[in-house]
Amino acid sequence: MAGFSFAVEARDGRARAGRLTTPHGEVETPVFMPVGTAGAVKAVLHRDLREIGARVLLANTYHLMLRPGDALVAGLGGLHSFTGWDGPFLTDSGGYQVFSLAALRELDEEGVRFQSHLDGSPHLLSPERSMEVQQNLGADIVMAFDECPPGDAPREVVAEATARTTRWARRSRDAHRRGDQWLFGIVQGGVHLDLREASARELLDVGFPGYAIGGLSVGEPKAGRDRVLDHLDPVLPAEQPRYLMGVGTPEDVIDAVARGVDMFDCVLPTRNARNGQLFTSRGRLSIRNARHRDDPRPPDPGCPCPTCRTASRAYLRHLHQANEMTAATLMTVHNLFFYLDMMGAMRQSIRLCRFEEWRGETLRRLAASEQDGS
């Protein structure tokens, strides 16, 4: 499609460094995408996101469908015009809410009937409706509608969800009309390698320009996730982008890059920041800890982010204890910078053929660090 391309420009083992081109700009991979569920990353201005190196944002189909409504967003020019973010957007399909809002929905072959968590009103989200919403939102990259089963679901439940995901992927492809969007298929199958491979091969037959790997941040063991990624690496096309949905900790992201993944999103850095937990080069730091009450040091002395350049641990703890909204802003900026800077370091190490050395050093440092990063 016009305006889109993806190229793997360097490899070190299975780790890949590449370039994803969209109508709203280029993105170097591997890339971390901050989560902006309602069209905004909580507590952070677009100006700050650009300053710390964010290039692509994720928005949520289900939530924007309910509020303010996808037709309203379309009438105001789509997500880019509506939000003022001029870089690429990616929207999920609403499939994750099949898992996360299980108590508020009924599922059949047509789609998923949700009871709105806002006002209880009924809504049908089907492959066709998901495509309609995502086309109205106007993101650069959109997702096929899928069924995401829980990590501990019985095999027969996972098998049924995987087969339905393929059928819904075909319906999503047939319903998608916009030539200025890339539609990705989503591989499901839990931790069952045969189901994962079958899902991937069936989606390859349907045909998509990129492939997401879903259902690997829903309670499954990390060892199972790693086995799935190892198994899918030779199955998924080497020349197309791979997106691991909803994962995860810095260690998880590093290990997934080592297994050939290009794109990531997760609420962890933003949610943890709002709860007073910071990621640092020496481990996680809880700003609530009393030891930081009069600590003049920045959260991470070696970090050049705007927060570490201007705010002490004592000040951040005071703001957090006072429920001052500025605390969420300052700590979210830091945590997102940590992730984005880590991705940049990974990209450089891959291009220099030093990825495994960098990976080993980084994982050892994180594993050996104290829990509170002091």
User: Which residues are known to be catalytic?
Assistant: 92, 265
Question: Backbone phi, then psi, for 44, in 5-degree steps?
Answer: -125, 135
Around Cβ 92, how many Cβ atoms within 10 Å? 29
The span from the CA of 298 to the CA of 310, in Å, is 8
The answer to whether the CB of 277 falls within 8 A of the CB of 285 is yes
The span from the CA of 347 to the CA of 18, in Å, is 8
Q: Which residue in the block uniquely carries the two structure tokens 């990259």?
A: 141
Around Cβ 242, how many Cβ atoms within 10 Å? 26
Q: Which residue in the block uniquely carries the two structure tokens 């969800």?
A: 161
The span from the CA of 263 to the CA of 269, in Å, is 16
Element holding 91 (H helix, E strand): strand 89-91
Q: Which residue, among 339, 328, 308, has the nearest Cα to 44 in the 3D structure?
A: 328
Q: Provide the β-strand partners of residue 286.
A: 277
The span from the CA of 308 to the CA of 325, in Å, is 17
